[in-house]
Amino acid sequence: MMILLLWLIAAYGMTQIIVYGSIFQGLRTSVEKMGNSRIPVLGPLFNFIHGIISCMMCCSTWVGFFMGAFVYSIWGNEMGLSTVPAIFFDGMLASGGVWAINTIVEHFES
C-alpha cells in the first residue's frame, strides 16, 4: 500500500511540474506556437502534444506509462501482469490517482 501511495505522489509531482511548473513554461509556449503554425504535418502533431502537456489528466496518463515502463510498474510488480498490459494500466492508474489528488488540492485552494 505504501508503494502505491508513493508511486501516485511521484506521478502527481511529475505531472504538476510538467503542466504548471515554470521550468517547462518555455517548452509549453514553444509547443503551442508550433501547434498554431500552418505546417501541414507538424501543426496538428504539436497541437496534440500541447493538449497533453497542458492537461493534468492527459499528462498524468503519459507519466504513468513512463513510470510503469522505466521506474516501477505497480501492475507488473504488485499484480503480476505481463509488461504491455501492466504499462497500460499503470497509465490508467496514474491518470485516476493524479486526478483525485488534484481535485482534493484544488478544493482546498478555493
pLDDT averaged over 10-residue windows placed end to end, the chain, 110 residues: 96 97 95 90 93 96 98 95 97 98 95
pTM of the entire predicted model: 0.91
Provide DSSP, 38-88.
--TTHHHHHHHHHHHHT-HHHHHHHHHHHIIIII--IIIIIS---HHHHHH
Q: How high is the pLDDT of residue 41?
A: 87
Domain ranges of the chain: 2-103
